[in-house]
Each structure stands twice: as structure tokens, then as C-alpha cells.
């Protein structure tokens, strides 16, 4: 292989291996049951909340893996890429995108911390309290019902192999 082909040849994006998992996170964040049964607000904010909650659960699972722990940054980068595109599509100008992205990353970091703390407790009461603070619900929202579903997802992900997790091969 020549020097020029090594320098300018095609390179693979390390995030590509994370794309099936990112698509699964978005798919789960859009599950109708969260909005119909748990009464998460079916709004832009509510949908963003669910995607970030699901993403946080997945990232916490990845933290427990020697193989995936370091790769979790690539999944977070896909989140950033997607949110950047969403902001631009909704009309946010170039100068304001960075400020909005900082806020969105802060939200994700807050969700990670809240869920990490709630999962340490082990029960769904602490999780329901964390979700009630971090998710936009309709007036008759059901944080306890959502907590049961999120705890079930966490438990399911703990039993999924790293390869199946990366491929988005798990059900919810």
C-alpha cells in the first residue's frame, strides 16, 4: 500500500458499528406504550426525554462492559450528530446550535447521573422519582409504570451479550 493511499484512502468511521444500537435506542424511545400507557407527553420534549432515558440506560449497560465501555463515546457522538441535525432542521441557526447542544448534553449527563443513582437503590420507587423529575408527562402521567418498564429494559440489557447489544438485537 502506497503512502498516499494510506493517507488519503477510505477510512471507516468507528461510529458505524454503533449505528444499529443508536437506531434501536431511537426506536425504543418512540414506543407507543410510553405515551399511551405511561402517559409520557407526546410532544417534542416528551419524545426527547424518552430517547435520552433509553440512551442513558444503554450507556449505563455499556459502562459495565470491558469491550463497550470505551466505545460508548461513539454512541454519544451519534446522539450529538442526530440532535445537531434535528436542531438545524427545526430552524436553529448555526450560531445557536452549539449553545443548544451544550444544554442537550447537560440533560443527557443529568439523566445518566439520576438513573445511575436510582439503579443503585434497586427498587422502582427511586427510579419513578428520578423519572418524574426527568421526563415530561401528561397531566395524568404514570412515573411508576414507566419505572417498571425502564427497570425491565435495564434487566434485559444486563442479560444481552455485547455483540447483540451493539447490533440492536434485543427486545423491549
Q: Where are the domains of the chain?
A: 16-166
Alpha carbon 80 to chain centroid, angstroms: 11
Q: Which residue has the cell 451519534?
A: 78
Q: What is the pLDDT of residues 26-85, one digit of tens each?
A: 999 999 999 999 999 999 899 999 999 999 999 999 999 988 888 888 998 888 787 766
pLDDT band for position 128 (cuts 50, 70, 90): very high
Considering the chain, what percentage of its residues have pLDDT values greater than 70? 83
The pTM assigned to this predicted structure is 0.85
Can you tell me the mean pLDDT for 129-148? 96
Q: Cell triple for residue 93? A: 441557526
Q: What is the pLDDT of residues 112-123, one digit of tens each?
A: 999 999 999 778
Q: What is the pLDDT of residues 84-100, one digit of tens each?
A: 666 656 666 666 666 65
Q: What is the pLDDT of residues 158-168, one digit of tens each?
A: 999 999 999 99
Can you tell me the mean pLDDT for 16-20? 91
C-alpha distance across the termini of the chain, in Å: 46
Q: Which residue has the cell 449505563?
A: 60
Amino acid at each position: 500500500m502506497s503512502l498516499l493511499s494510506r493517507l488519503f484512502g477510505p477510512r471507516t468511521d468507528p461510529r458505524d458499528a454503533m449505528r444499529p444500537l443508536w437506531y434501536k435506542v431511537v426506536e425504543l424511545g418512540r414506543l407507543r406504550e410510553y405515551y399511551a400507557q405511561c402517559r409520557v407527553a407526546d410532544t417534542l420534549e416528551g419524545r426527547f426525554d424518552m430517547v435520552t432515558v433509553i440512551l442513558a440506560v444503554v450507556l449505563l449497560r455499556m459502562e459495565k462492559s470491558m469491550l463497550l465501555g470505551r466505545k460508548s463515546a461513539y454512541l454519544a457522538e451519534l446522539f450529538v450528530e442526530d440532535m445537531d441535525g434535528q436542531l438545524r432542521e427545526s430552524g436553529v441557526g448555526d450560531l445557536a446550535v452549539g449553545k443548544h447542544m451544550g444544554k442537550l448534553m447537560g440533560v443527557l449527563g443529568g439523566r445518566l447521573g439520576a438513573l445511575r443513582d436510582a439503579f443503585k437503590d434497586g427498587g422502582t420507587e427511586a427510579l419513578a422519582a428520578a423519572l418524574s423529575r426527568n421526563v415530561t408527562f401528561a397531566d395524568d402521567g404514570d412515573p411508576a409504570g414507566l419505572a417498571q418498564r425502564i427497570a425491565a429494559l435495564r434487566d434485559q440489557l444486563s442479560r444481552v451479550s455485547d455483540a447483540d447489544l451493539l447490533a440492536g438485537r434485543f427486545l423491549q
